[in-house]
Amino acid sequence: MRQIHKNAWFLVLLSAGLQIVIFPLPNQYMLCWVAIAPLFIALQRARVPNTLQVSEGIKLYPASPGQAFLLAYVCGILWYAGTCYWIYNTMRQYGGVSAPLGVVILILFSLYLALYHGAFGLLISLLTGRTSFSRRALLLGPVVWVAVELARTCITGFPWDLLGITQVDNIPLARISTVAGVYGVSFEIMVVNIAVAAAFLVRREKRKPLLLAALGAALILQSGRWVPAPPFPADHLARLVQENIPVLENSGWTKEYFEGTLRDLTWISLHPTSLSAAGANSQNALHPELIVWPESPAPFYTSDPAFREAVSNVARQAQTWMLVGSLGVRNARQTPERVTEVYNSAALVSPAGEWVGRYDKVHLVPFGEYVPFRRVFGFAGGLTQQVGDFSRGTSRAPLQAGKDKIGVFICYESIFPDEVRQFAASGAQVFVNISNDGWYGDSGAYAQHLKQARMRAIENSRWLLRDTNTGVTASIDPYGRVVSTVPRKLRVVLQAPYALSDATTFYTRHGDWFAYLCAIISIGALLMRLPFGTRTKR
């Protein structure tokens, strides 16, 4: 009978803890260079030869495939639970579930997505072999990690906090994403992690120079975080309205409250005060070319005459374009199925007050905006009671505001690199991300979400106007820097500078080519290893 040594479990716990703190709110991003190394060491030094030899100082072997999956799976469970802990409060407060059920939902979520960590461990084990240390696993470790990240993006549809996101503030390193996407940054980080792990796997006399070289590389790569970059010129101005609308039951939206909310939003959109108009003084003199209202929990239906008239009046008085988060409606007579469809939408209104375009959210949040496989998960309908059951949009074409093309994506669509890329590839000259991060309260989710949105600006070299209900509302330049922002949880207007761009990056034109290449290499290496691969002795 084979056993997993206790040191391997300690390394798994260490790696999970490090992976948690490298993302907000702890945001100890510098630890990303060593966060995966303990897990990799555990996979290579886990197996005890037999039960009679369990003692300190024995020679440990690489984990078997089953052991490797278990070790990495546990690491993934802990990481997801520690990073996405906000799911519990969201389900409790807005899903109407009990505390025990909220815990169960978080656990099931972590158990499911941790399968990808488990897959990484399994693949590394298969590439390593059972009785000897394999340099193949060292060389392919970063490749396999990127392949698993791609699988998490494409299969499960929840690529939250990919490893490369930790370096969004490191401008020279993050610029790799203009060629290879965020996956290229993940690859660089994993190369250093594997080098650190290798230092503890080679003979003792080689350990110190290899460890110094790995940590030196990490220091050099991380130093880009403090290298100043020139500012991007901005010749346009948008007013981003941070609505700060609370989540209310339907009964809370009385006629008086609804009309009062519209009056407030109208006033601050047209008359931003010194308190509500935050931004560079040099920009305040510019006439706004766009006013944005975010995604919000308010019942702002595009079919509501009162809402439409209020928005049209703002556009006419300001003589500018408006982009408004709203609930798009297709009436029964407009659909083949003769049913009314509701969308999570962003409506475009012209300076003449005409409603000329609309983006309907394509990538909906499962169990938040719709219930997948309703026949199986019908019991989960209550989880969406505060959000809705939306229909899915079908187009990622930019919205045409006069001569300007605006790429609009809503809420967590910002975490999907290839989906956002399609807007730029279709000609979008500026990105607008509207979101309601109020669901997450003061947890780390709002800060995690901001970092991921900023990476989309870098990958496609586009200005990003991010307008949220409760914050963080910000203007983000093509280097991913937050140029201007406003405090969270205030009803306030941000005077947001931006510029238009028609240039495209290599990533915009070619998408996730690097991640798919890593996936192909991983599959090829695995196929070569399984039938006729040979073990490599250290």
For the stretch 282-305, what's the b/e string if a residue is b when 16 or more beta carbons lie within 10 angstroms of its beta carbon? Answer: ebeebebbbbbbbbbbbebbbeee
Cβ-contact 291, 323 below 8 angstroms: yes
Check residue 387 and give its pLDDT: 52
In three-state secondary structure terms, 468 is strand
Q: Is 115 part of any domain? A: yes
Q: Is 504 part of any domain? A: no
Distance CA(126)–CA(524), nearest Å, equals 12
Together in a domain, 487 and 522: no
Check residue 367 and give its pLDDT: 72
Q: Is 84 part of any domain? A: yes
- Strongest mean pLDDT among 264-278, 322-336, 511-525: 511-525
Check residue 1 and give its pLDDT: 39
Cβ-contact 15, 75 below 8 angstroms: yes
Q: Is 323 part of any domain? A: yes
Together in a domain, 328 and 353: yes
- Domains: count for the chain: 2
CATH code: domain of residue 413: 3.60.110.10
**Residue 342 reports pLDDT greater than 60:** yes
| pLDDT tens-place string over residues 226-272 | 988 999 999 999 999 999 999 887 778 999 999 999 999 999 999 98
Q: Is 193 part of any domain? A: yes
Q: Is 160 part of any domain? A: yes
In which band, very low, low, confident or very high, does the pLDDT at 532 lie, cut at 50, 70 and 90?
very low
For the stretch 381-397, what's the b/e string if a residue is b when 16 or more beta carbons lie within 10 angstroms of its beta carbon? Answer: eebbebbbebbebeebb
Together in a domain, 482 and 527: no
Average pLDDT, the chain: 89
Together in a domain, 205 and 96: yes
- Strongest mean pLDDT among 133-147, 197-211, 328-342, 510-524: 510-524
**Which has more confidence, 390 or 407?**
407
Together in a domain, 201 and 288: no
| pLDDT tens-place string over residues 451-471 | 999 999 999 999 999 999 998
Question: In sequence order, what are the beta bridge partners of 307?
Answer: none
Distance of CA 187 to the CA centre of its chain: 17
Together in a domain, 297 and 440: yes
In which band, very low, low, confident or very high, does the pLDDT at 51 lie, cut at 50, 70 and 90?
low
Check residue 533 and give its pLDDT: 44
Q: Is 268 part of any domain? A: yes
Distance CA(208)–CA(44), nearest Å, equals 19
Q: First-to-last CA distance in the chain?
A: 25
Check residue 333 and give its pLDDT: 56
Together in a domain, 93 and 201: yes
Together in a domain, 279 and 399: yes
Together in a domain, 219 and 355: no
The boundaries of the domain holding residue 46 are 3-226+513-532
Cβ-contact 492, 278 below 8 angstroms: yes
What would the mean pLDDT of 408-421 be, rounded to a whole number?
Answer: 96
In which band, very low, low, confident or very high, does the pLDDT at 59 lie, cut at 50, 70 and 90?
confident
| pLDDT tens-place string over residues 495-513 | 999 999 999 999 999 999 9
Check residue 336 and give its pLDDT: 53
Question: In sequence order, what are the beta bridge partners of 465?
Answer: 432, 475
Distance of CA 291 to the CA centre of its chain: 25
**Residue 345 reports pLDDT greater than 90:** yes
In which band, very low, low, confident or very high, does the pLDDT at 92 lie, cut at 50, 70 and 90?
confident
Together in a domain, 395 and 271: yes
Q: Is 502 part of any domain? A: no
In which band, very low, low, confident or very high, does the pLDDT at 282 lie, cut at 50, 70 and 90?
very low
**Residue 538 reports pLDDT greater than 50:** no
Distance CA(14)–CA(31), nearest Å, equals 12
Together in a domain, 22 and 160: yes
| pLDDT tens-place string over residues 188-209 | 999 999 999 999 988 887 889 9
Check residue 207 and give its pLDDT: 87
Q: What DSSP element (H or E) covers 191?
A: helix 182-199
Together in a domain, 212 and 272: no
Residue 270: name the closest of 325, 300, 326, 310 by CA.
310
**Residue 110 reports pLDDT greater than 80:** yes
In which band, very low, low, confident or very high, does the pLDDT at 445 lie, cut at 50, 70 and 90?
very high
Residue 509: name the closest of 411, 389, 395, 418 by CA.
418
| pLDDT tens-place string over residues 466-496 | 999 998 999 999 999 999 999 999 999 999 9
Check residue 277 and give its pLDDT: 61
In three-state secondary structure terms, 488 is coil
